[in-house]
Structure 1
Amino acid sequence: MSIDHAPETATAAASGANATARFATDKSAAAAATPPERVSLLAREVLAAVHKAVHDHKVTYDEYNALKSWLINVGQDGEWPLFLDVWVEHAVEEVAGETRDGSKGTIEGPYYVPAAPELGHDAVLPMRDGEHGTPLLFQGQVTDVAGQPLLGAVLEIWHADDDGFYSQFAPGIPEWNLRGTVTADENGHFQIRTMQPAPYQIPTDGACGKLISAAGWHPWRPAHLHLKVAAPGYQQITTQLYFPGDKYNDNDVADAVKPELILDPHDVDGGREVTYDFVLDKV
């Protein structure tokens, strides 16, 4: 049975509004816990960097007003989560992960949704009848840095469909499509059946798209699986896993690809399969 996808009805404004609403629900409270002296330090240094760029490059009033107009548009389009997650988050993640001995992480991105359905350790992600794409079996084990399996480790997984759209951020897609929570078995093993995602471009009909066009950049992200992996007493890893041969692995618009995150899938009858293990550090 074939299905109809609706890329023509997905817009940056709608996606941005959903990402902004999700952030306000899940994460905005964290800002209240930041001490004033930390806010002052970071704000002053960011502003000093802006001032330096203005002086170094002799920014004109026309350019300044173009910036003001663009910043207003980012807010109107609800694209601050997209802008920050695409162009800033990778640096924050590098700082967060610089002392880990276990698996590498990378950016979360703007399309995470908590509390996806629990699917056990041998999981099939929710998907539409006739879901487009190549069937993918993703499997592995979760251990600590000493190689001991982590019983009951929890993996949250989500990814775009074959048209590059995420459930809950584009219309016409079931709520939990290609999203799930998987609990590893007594040996830390898991198996997840899904569809291999495709490369996709970040929304380009809003303010972020205007920046990309004006700067002569490209808007593409390589195909990837998103995961959060956690176990009690261990540091949670947020990561993305990529597929070899993708032409955007070396020039990802979000600068989030790391060599350690490239998968090694194998073709099997009717699809592909890949094994990737996760190693968690103690808290």
Structure 2
Amino acid sequence: MSVETTATAAASGANATEKFRANKTAAAQVSTARVSQLASRAIKALVDTVTEEKVTYDEYNALKAWLIRVGEDGEWPLFLDVWIEHAVEEVVNADREGSKGTIEGPYYVPGSPVLQSPATLPQREDEVGTPLLFQGQVTSVDGTPLPGAHVEIWHADDAGYYSQFAPGIPEWNLRGTVVADADGNYQINTLQPAPYQIPTDGACGQLITAAGWHAWRPAHLHLKVSAPGQQLITTQLYFTADEHLSDDIASAVKPELILDPSPTSDGNGREVSYNFVLAPEEAK
């Protein structure tokens, strides 16, 4: 397996920005009063930082140059999803019943192939990685199975690249929407992803280097789980013993989201079960 052209942060960032513009309804109606409130708070936080930390003009100009580069590299979706989204998710879902959610991240693409359970995600013939059987049941908070629930899943390949964001990867590689059976059960055959660094050759990488941070995310599966009459949940699932569970750069790991796969009976890969519990729409 090879990536035909070298993946770059600028290219991934541009793709993330393009897909965000195409897929998100950015024209959400927000009142003038709310815009004023939030913008004033954000500006005040920056002004307070300048005052309290006695920011110099050299530092101020370095910030301006860096903000310009974030836009030029198309990395605003990456920056916001890595460092800000986790707080938004926590606020929005603070009182939600059922399974825990976490961030969507910048690499979601709607419209993945619909597959009936048991399913195997699209992958290259020579896809690298350990086979993983990911299975479980989708129920409502009262324990009622949710037949035909959709388990939408996407994840990076063994090299840390996502299809549609890095070159040389088939369009829907390691992406799919799996339809649960009549009892809400699902089985998905895929590969266990590896930890990876967020792109570091662009503006976000420049910040990471300047601050002396690391760029690593623990290995994870991305999921959106939905059923009629239930709230859609967006989440990520991680793997026990990953060295970056405690210092994920995106601050998205929660104890409830950590998987502990076991070897399969035939020794050909690993398997793990995880049940999703959805809250009814009226509870939101």
TM-score range, shorter chain: over 0.9
**Taking every aligned residue pair, what percent have the same amino acid on both sides?**
68
Output aligned runs, 1:14-25, within 5 Å: 14-25=11-22
Tell me by how many angstroms 1:282 deviates: 0.6
Question: Which residues of 2 match residues 125-204 of structure 1 at below 5 A?
Answer: 125-204=121-200
Are the aligned partners of 1:168 and 1:175 in contact in 2 as well (CA < 8 Å)? yes
Do the aligned partners of 1:142 and 1:278 also contact (CA within 8 Å) in 2? yes
**Distance in 2 separating the partners of 1:30 and 1:56:** 34
1:13 aligns with 10
Amino acid at match of 1:179: R
SS at match of 1:94: helix
Query: Cα offset for 1:31?
Result: 3.4
Q: How far has the Cα of 1:34 moved from its partner?
A: 1.9
Corresponding residue for residue 100 of structure 1: 96
Q: Distance in 2 between matches of 1:32 and 1:225?
A: 29
What residue number does 2:46 align with? 50
Deviation at 1:35, TM superposition (A): 1.9
CA shift for structure 1 position 37: 1.6
Task: Work out whether residues 5 and 163 of structure 1, in 8 Å CA contact, stay in contact via their aligned partners in 2.
Answer: no
**Aligned residue pairs, count:** 279
* SS of alignment partner, residue 232 of structure 1: coil
> What is residue 270 of structure 1 aligned with on the other side?
268
Which letter does structure 1 place at the counterpart of 2:10? A
Residues 1:257 and 2:229 aligned together: no
Task: Write the letter of the residue equivalent to 2:217.
Answer: R
Task: For 1:62-77, list aligned pairs within 5 A.
Answer: 62-77=58-73
1: CA distance between counterparts of 2:34 and 2:122? 42
* 2:23 pairs with one of 21, 26, 35: 26
1:90 equivalenced with 2:86 (yes/no): yes
Distance in 2 between the 1:152 and 1:209 partners? 42
Moved more, 37-46 or 85-94: 37-46
Matched to 2:205, the amino acid is G
Give 1:10 shift: 0.3
**Secondary structure of the residue that 2:280 maps to in structure 1?**
coil
Aligned counterparts, 1:200-279, within 5 A: 200-268=196-264, 269-279=267-277
Mapping 1:106-117, distance limit 5 Å: 106-117=102-113
Q: Aligned partners of 1:4 and 1:81: how far apart in 2?
A: 26
- SS of residue in 1 equivalent to 2:27: helix
Q: CA RMSD in A?
A: 0.9
Runs of 4+ in 1 over 6 A off after TM superposition: none
Give the drift of 1:39: 1.1
Q: Distance in 1 between matches of 2:62 and 2:194?
A: 34
Report how far residue 100 of structure 1 moved.
1.0
Tell me how far 1:4 sits from its aligned partner: 2.2
Deviations 1:111-162 (A, max 9, x none): 0000000011211000000210000000000001111101111111000000
Per-residue deviation, 1:40:
1.1
User: What TM-score do the two structures reach when normalised by structure 1?
Assistant: 0.97
Give 1:9's aligned amino acid: T
Alpha-carbon shift at residue 30 of structure 1 (Å): 3.2
Helix, strand or coil at the partner of 2:270: strand
CA distance, structure 2, for counterparts of residue 35 and residue 134 of structure 1: 50
SS in 2 for 1:31: coil
Q: CA deviation at 1:5?
A: 3.5
Contact persistence 2:195–2:216 (CA under 8 A): yes
1:232 positional shift: 1.2
Q: Pick one of 31, 36, 39 that aligns with 2:35.
A: 39
